[in-house]
């Protein structure tokens, strides 16, 4: 394979990379001129379909196919919602794109709206990204002044407005229908699907919801073609695998010497990431485990670090998927109980409360792991945790959205892959197998009792 040439991050190290001037000097806004100069919306959809670009937000759904689900010849309005609510623990690739190269993102959004005939795009951006918010707003203002947004863009028949909409620190707003509800001014409770947003989304109109990095890929596909995009990554292995093509921003954080965000072709391994880019496991220690793509994807052991991080790879070792491709490394000194406690606490805090299995299950799991961490664990707690984990989520069919699946996976993986460590710790800290009277045991299990 030829030497890999980064494209998504080609601009980010230049001075003033966030300005229109620098973006255009680097070839920016050529793709939108090409599109407006002779492509039809269908041409763009077909091009993106041919590239096999899959969504970078976590689910990996083919982007062109998502666009093609919009009703044909709809009188409008059609909306685009761009998901910049990047809140998956360990994930920051979209922050870097928005802060360092906002015009690349905006060019992708303009092309995406042209392809889907959307007349308004809302970028839903998490509150915790103030710099990204200001840079994007400045870039949007520059675009209006330059005739790249607004009425009759570059003299064409195509008009588009882009508005930023700030969130208020709620993880669930990253779920596409939670995002839509939040945009509409309501609590961010995910919707039952169908109807899918493409049919009935924001303000009950057809809506596409796309991730920031996905949009940033689009101008490059227009400029360089679908074959260029497909020249990178891991090819499809069969009719049920859409393949993992193109460049990807991998985040690496946790116990490495050099945490950061690195662009490389889809399919790098955790070990390569750690050793070639992360500067190795920190403090000269050995690795113990990792998160493959945001906390919700579960965990890999160090022995599994040679699995390629493409859309199919993490699933082969029991993880939920590639997710956001944000890798977190844990060194040999890390306690899996501490890890699981941190994970369960996050989901208990962020469950939106709509579905009882998730609202209650995530809190029960947090309280049980908290009790284990406090030295009052019992061996059978591990089976109770697994029982909760297998009962909450879309996969068992008990919740509306996937938040609970993301809560369940770290529990399932941690206990399956490190059960001995949990058992040893419980036997050491609670050797008598501390029990309370049966009558209050149920309350104790969930941390509501008075026995300790």
Partner 1 sequence: MTSTATKSSVLTAEMRAKIEALFPRYPTKQAVTLPALHIVNEALRCVPMDAIPEIAAMLELSPAQVYDTLSFYGFFKHEPGGQVRAWVCRSISCALRGGEEVLDSLAHKLCVKPGETTADGKITLEFGECLGLCDFAPAMLANEKVYKNMSVEQVDEVVALLKSQADQGN
Take residue 36 and report the two structure tokens written for it: 């407006």
End-to-end CA distance of the chain: 61
**Number of Cβ atoms within 10 Å of the Cβ of 189:** 17
**Number of Cβ atoms within 10 Å of the Cβ of 22:** 16
C-beta closer to partner 1: residue 324 or 430: 324
Quick one: which of 45, 53, 261, 336 contacts partner 1 (CB under 8 A)? 261
The C-alpha torsion from 37 through 43 and 44 to 50, rounded to 10°, is: -140
Size of the site for partner 1 (CB under 8 A): 54
218 to 257: interface string for partner 1, x by CB under 8 A? ---------------------------------x-xxx--
Asked if 298 and 320 touch (Cβ cutoff 8 Å), the reply is yes
Of 118, 98, 105, 107, the C-alpha closest to 148 is 107
Minimum CB–partner distance for residue 200 and partner 1 (Å): 14
163 binds partner 1 (CB under 8 A): yes
Q: Measuring CA to CA, how many Å separate 248 from each of 197, 266, 270, 339, 385?
A: 26, 6, 14, 27, 34
**Number of Cβ atoms within 10 Å of the Cβ of 427:** 12
The C-alpha torsion from 225 through 219 and 60 to 94, rounded to 10°, is: 150
Phi/psi at 364 (5° precision): -60, -45
Asked if 269 and 306 touch (Cβ cutoff 8 Å), the reply is yes
359 binds partner 1 (CB under 8 A): no
d(CA 102, CA 20): 9
Q: Contacts with partner 1 in 172-191 (CB under 8 A)?
A: 182-188
Minimum CB–partner distance for residue 66 and partner 1 (Å): 22
Quick one: which of 9, 104, 296, 343 contacts partner 1 (CB under 8 A)? 343
Minimum CB–partner distance for residue 147 and partner 1 (Å): 20
Q: Contacts with partner 1 in 295-314 (CB under 8 A)?
A: 295
The C-alpha torsion from 225 through 227 and 233 to 234, rounded to 10°, is: 140
Asked if 50 and 224 touch (Cβ cutoff 8 Å), the reply is no
The interface region with partner 1, picked from 40-48, 107-115, 327-335, 395-403 by CB under 8 A, is: 327-335
The interface region with partner 1, picked from 16-24, 83-91, 216-224, 418-426 by CB under 8 A, is: 83-91
H/E run at residue 329: strand 326-331
C-beta closer to partner 1: residue 169 or 440: 169
Q: Which residues are CB-neighbours of 107 under 8 A, at least 6 positions away?
A: 23, 28, 29, 31, 32, 218, 219
CA atoms within 13 A on the CB side of 391: 16
C-beta closer to partner 1: residue 94 or 104: 94
Minimum CB–partner distance for residue 363 and partner 1 (Å): 15
Quick one: which of 86, 142, 213, 425 contacts partner 1 (CB under 8 A)? 86
C-beta closer to partner 1: residue 89 or 233: 89
Quick one: which of 260, 315, 396, 449 contacts partner 1 (CB under 8 A)? 260
3 to 42: interface string for partner 1, x by CB under 8 A? ----------------------------------------
The interface region with partner 1, picked from 32-40, 84-92, 139-147, 360-368 by CB under 8 A, is: 84-92
Take residue 229 and report the two structure tokens written for it: 């995009």
C-beta closer to partner 1: residue 186 or 427: 186
- Kindly give the residue spans of alpha helices, DSSP state H, lying in 400-437: 403-429
C-beta closer to partner 1: residue 210 or 343: 343
151 binds partner 1 (CB under 8 A): no
318 binds partner 1 (CB under 8 A): no
C-beta closer to partner 1: residue 289 or 392: 289
166 binds partner 1 (CB under 8 A): yes
349 binds partner 1 (CB under 8 A): yes
Q: Which residues are CB-neighbours of 234 under 8 A, at least 6 positions away?
A: 243, 244, 245, 266, 267, 308, 310, 312, 313
C-beta closer to partner 1: residue 47 or 329: 329
Binding site for partner 1 (CB under 8 A): 77, 86-92, 94-95, 126-131, 161, 163, 165-171, 182-188, 203, 251, 253-255, 259-261, 291, 295, 326, 328, 330, 334, 338-339, 342-343, 346, 349-350, 352
């Amino acid at each position: 394979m030829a030497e890999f040439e980064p494209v998504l991050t080609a601009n980010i190290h230049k001075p003033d990379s966030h300005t229109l001037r620098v973006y255009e000097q680097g070839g920016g806004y050529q793709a939108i001129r090409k599109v407006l100069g002779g492509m039809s919306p269908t041409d763009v959809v077909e091009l993106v379909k041919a590239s096999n670009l899959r969504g970078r937000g976590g689910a990996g759904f083919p982007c062109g196919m998502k666009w093609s689900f919009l009703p044909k010849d709809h009188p409008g309005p059609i909306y685009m919602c761009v998901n910049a609510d990047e809140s998956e623990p360990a994930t920051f690739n979209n922050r870097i794109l928005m802060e360092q190269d906002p015009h690349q993102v905006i060019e992708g959004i303009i092309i995406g709206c042209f392809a889907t005939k959307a007349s308004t795009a809302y970028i839903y951006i998490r509150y915790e990204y103030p710099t990204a918010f200001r840079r994007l707003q400045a870039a949007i203002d520059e675009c209006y002044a330059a005739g790249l947004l607004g009425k009759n863009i570059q003299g064409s028949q195509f008009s588009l407005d882009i508005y930023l909409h700030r969130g208020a620190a709620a993880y669930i707003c990253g779920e596409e229908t939670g995002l839509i509800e939040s945009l509409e001014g309501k609590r961010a409770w995910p919707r039952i699907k169908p109807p899918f947003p493409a049919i009935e989304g924001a303000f009950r109109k057809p809506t596409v919801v796309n991730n920031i990095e996905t949009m940033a890929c689009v101008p490059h596909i227009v400029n360089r073609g679908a074959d260029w995009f497909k020249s990178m990554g891991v090819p499809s292995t069969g009719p049920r695998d859409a393949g993992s093509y193109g460049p990807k921003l991998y985040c690496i954080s946790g116990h490495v010497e050099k945490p950061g965000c690195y662009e490389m072709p889809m399919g790098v391994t955790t070990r390569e990431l750690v050793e070639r880019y992360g500067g190795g496991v920190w403090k000269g220690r050995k690795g113990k485990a990792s998160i493959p793509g945001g906390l919700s994807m579960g965990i890999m052991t160090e022995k599994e670090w040679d699995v390629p991080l493409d859309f199919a790879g993490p699933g082969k070792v029991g993880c939920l998927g590639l997710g956001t491709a944000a890798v977190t490394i844990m060194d040999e000194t890390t306690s899996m109980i501490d890890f699981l406690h941190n994970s369960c606490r996050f989901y208990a805090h962020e469950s939106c409360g709509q579905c009882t299995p998730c609202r209650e299950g995530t809190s029960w799991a947090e309280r049980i792991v908290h009790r284990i961490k406090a030295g009052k664990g019992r061996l059978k707690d591990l089976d109770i945790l697994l029982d909760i984990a297998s009962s909450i989520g879309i996969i068992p069919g008990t919740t509306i959205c996937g938040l609970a699946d993301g809560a369940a996976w770290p529990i399932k993986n941690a206990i399956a892959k490190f059960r001995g460590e949990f058992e040893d710790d419980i036997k050491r800290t609670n050797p008598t197998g501390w029990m309370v009277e049966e009558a209050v045991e149920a309350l104790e299990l969930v941390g509501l009792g008075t026995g300790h």
